[in-house]
Amino acid sequence: MSKYKGLKSSWFLIVLFLGIGIFMLGNSGKSLFTRAFSQPVTLDELDYSGEIEGTYVRTTVYGIYGAYSETVSSKTNSVKAREYVIDAGDYHYISLKARSGDLKKADALMEASFDYLDGKIDSEALEPYQFEITGTIQPLSSKSLQYYHEFFDWYQLDDEVKESILPYYVEIGEVAGMDNGTMWGLFAIGVAATGLGMFFLYNSLTGYERAVRKFLKSAPDSRSEERVRDFLSHTQELHGLQIDRNFLFMLVGGAGYYLDLPDHVVWMYKRITSHRYNGIPTGKTYGVNIAFADHKQREITVKDEQQADEVIQALASYCPRAIAGYSKDLDNLYQKNYNQFLELRYNQTGQS
């Protein structure tokens, strides 16, 4: 059996999990990298004559001049997000986007700002409503830009004033297009998926040798490594199984490996699982379940029932004392009274 048969069998899972992991890490990585290594600037420090899109800012919102757009949930009729106009410094204006968790403080500052502009409160009374934000500057969508311009009565303005109204927004807590919760969620999924992919890859690449080493470590001196290596090199593989009168080597579940003695097989039966989706048959999967003397069951996955029968026949040739076939009574006995199960007459055939 090839040392890389497990790799061939599990390549789909490896590619799937590594692909998901890399995709998730890539999506969250930009936001994480920006937060960790980029130095944020305040809106007052920006050079508005140059490119500002993507700039990472951390600044205090001192006042809000009004709201020009909001997003309402069609199910609950509640406001999910609202877009405001704030001072960007140096006589410029920019949009601020707040989602549901930040709406309360944004609305409170907007109302306090109205009172300040009307002379009802002074700057000292306004300070408790002011708050700090972090985010990256992003261009407004065409729809938001339309409402944004309507707020300023755009077509009545001269060109100099228009240049001071920046077509960008900062969303509270959103850095590189991702809020903090989403970033860490995607990052955690990415780490987990990458870890699983690496686990399957490592297990596929090293499982062969680890199975041999584990067996040799527990084997008597008479089971020399030379004899095991000779068996592995010269015994023909049958659908993930190598077996002779001395050794049994199998591909477990399509990815792992297991090496033992044929005499340690106590029970074997084929497994056929039917799959359905919404009651519609979608196919079957096949395997041969092998129970060993350590009271553990391991399965060889095969393509069809014929291969399963061939594996069972090969096992029966070299494991004549093992019970063959499945029945619920045998399964109950195996699970609940293993010692009595072992006392059954060898070569007794269960119902298939």
Which alpha helices (DSSP H) does 38-167 contain, by range? Answer: 103-117, 123-126, 142-151, 159-164
Q: What is the pLDDT of residue 212?
A: 84
Q: Tell me: do 226 and 328 sit in the same domain.
A: yes
Whether residue 185 is predicted with pLDDT greater than 80 in this model: the reply is: yes
Provide mean pLDDT across the span 130-137.
Answer: 94
Distance CA 37, CA 21 (A): 22
Question: What confidence score (pLDDT) does residue 179 get?
Answer: 84
Residues with Cβ within 8 Å of 108's Cβ and at least 6 positions away in sequence, in order, are: 129
173 touches 95 (CB < 8 A):
no
Task: Please name the residue ranges forming H helices in 5-49.
Answer: 5-37
Pairwise CA distance, residues 111 & 131, whole Å: 14
Query: Is 275 inside any structural domain?
Result: yes
Q: Residue 255: what pLDDT?
A: 65
* 177 in the same domain as 273: no
**299 close to 287: Cβ distance less than 8 angstroms:** yes
pLDDT at residue number 68? 96
Q: Hey, what are 255's tokens?
A: 């990815």
Closest CA to 71 of 153, 141, 175: 141
**43 within domain boundaries:** yes
Least confident of 3-7, 112-116, 144-148, 152-156: 3-7
| Beta partners for residue 59, in sequence order | 133
Determine if residue 26 is left, alpha or beta; phi over 0 gives left, psi from -120 to 50 gives alpha, anything else beta.
Answer: alpha
Asked if residue 224 and residue 150 are part of one domain, the reply reads: no
Q: Which of 87-91, 116-120, 211-215, 259-263 has the lowest mean pLDDT?
A: 211-215
Contact 347, 321 (CB under 8 A): yes
- Predicted confidence at residue 225, as pLDDT, reads 82
User: Is residue 214 in a domain?
Assistant: no
Q: Does a structural domain hold residue 192?
A: no
The per-residue pLDDT for 232 is 87
Task: Please tell me the distance from the alpha carbon of residue 323 to that of residue 346, in angstroms, as a whole number.
Answer: 6
pLDDT over 90 percentage in the chain: 55
Q: Which of 295, 307, 175 minimizes the C-alpha distance to 251?
A: 307
Are residues 280 and 164 part of one domain? no
Domain containing 259 equals: 219-342
Contacts of 336 by beta carbon, 8 Å cutoff, 6+ apart: none
The pLDDT, as a whole number, for residue 223 is 61
Q: What is the pLDDT of residue 350?
A: 44
pTM: 0.59
- Supply the CATH number for residue 251's domain: 2.30.29
Boundary of a domain, candidates 167, 183, 199? 183
**Same domain membership, residue 263 and residue 169:** no
Q: Is residue 10 part of a domain?
A: no
**134 and 249 belong to one structural domain:** no
Decide if pLDDT at 30 tops 80: yes
Confidence of residue 234 (pLDDT cuts 50, 70, 90): confident
Q: 88: which 2 tokens?
A: 């960007």
Strands (E), the chain: 56-61, 64-72, 79-89, 92-99, 131-139, 165-171, 241-243, 248-252, 256-260, 265-277, 280-292, 297-302, 323-324
**Residue 270 — pLDDT band, cuts 50, 70, 90?**
very high
193 assigned to some structural domain: no
**303 is a domain residue:** yes
85: left (phi over 0), alpha (psi -120 to 50) or beta: beta
| Count of domains observed in the chain | 2
Query: Tokens representing 158?
Result: 């001269």
Q: What per-residue confidence (pLDDT) applies to 34? A: 84
Q: Are residues 177 and 227 in the same domain?
A: no
Rounded-to-10 torsion of CA 283, 284, 285, 289: 170
- Strand 64-72 and strand 79-89: the pairing is antiparallel
Task: Sheet with 56-61: list strands edge to edge.
Answer: 56-61, 131-139, 165-171, 92-99, 79-89, 64-72
Q: Is residue 292 part of a domain?
A: yes
More confident residue, 202 or 72: 72
Percent helix, percent strand, percent coil in the chain, to nearest 5: 45, 30, 25
Q: For the segment 51-63, what is each residue's pLDDT rounded down to a tens digit?
A: 999 999 999 999 9
Same domain, 233 and 151: no
Q: Are residues 44 and 163 in the same domain?
A: yes
Per-residue pLDDT tens over the stretch 66-93: 999 999 988 888 999 999 999 998 889 9
Question: Mean pLDDT over all residues of the chain?
Answer: 88
Model pLDDT for residues 152-166, shown as the tens digit of each residue = 999 999 999 999 999
Strands 323-324 and 297-302: unpaired
| Structure confidence at residue 7 as a pLDDT band (50, 70, 90) | low
